[in-house]
Amino acid sequence: MTKILTGGVGKTEVAQTVTAMALDGIEAVVSNDMDAAMKLRAGQAQYYLGTCHTGAGASLGVLVGLMGKKACHTFGRSVPTEDEVTALLDDGIKVFGFSMDQIDSVAPVITRAIAAKSN
């Protein structure tokens, strides 16, 4: 089972979006940034999706500090393609940030890429 932790202002909405996709082997759990960092570092979760109002930084601030910049990527206000997310996953990115007003667009793209990589 691949566990995706969600955090930030839209954490509940992200978890609901991921869960509603009903992808085999994917579980979404509402979290917070500090708890998520500890769980990711301990191998108790594999990914984190964080949201803030702009997607520019607050979505990942604590995670960047505790996980390192090389494990984190923010899309800001852009909507990535599944290929872009796959390339980031291949580069070792585990933590993704984006704007909360784009949850319906961005969370499914990231989740599909994670599911494809996990299978």
- How far is Cα 11 from Cα 89, in angstroms, rounded to an integer? 21
Q: What burial class does residue 42 get, using C-beta atoms within 10 Å of its C-beta: 0-12 exposed, 13-18 middle, 19+ buried?
A: exposed
Examine the pLDDT at 56 and tell me if it is beyond 90: no
Beta carbons of 35 and 75 less than 8 angstroms apart? no
The mean predicted confidence, pLDDT, of the chain is 94
Length of the chain in residues, anyone? Answer: 119
Query: pLDDT grade, residue 58 (50/70/90)?
Result: low
Residue 85 tokens read as: 């997310």
For the stretch 94-111, pLDDT in tens is 999 999 999 999 999 999
List, in sequence order, every residue forming a beta bridge with 72; answer none if it has no partner.
95
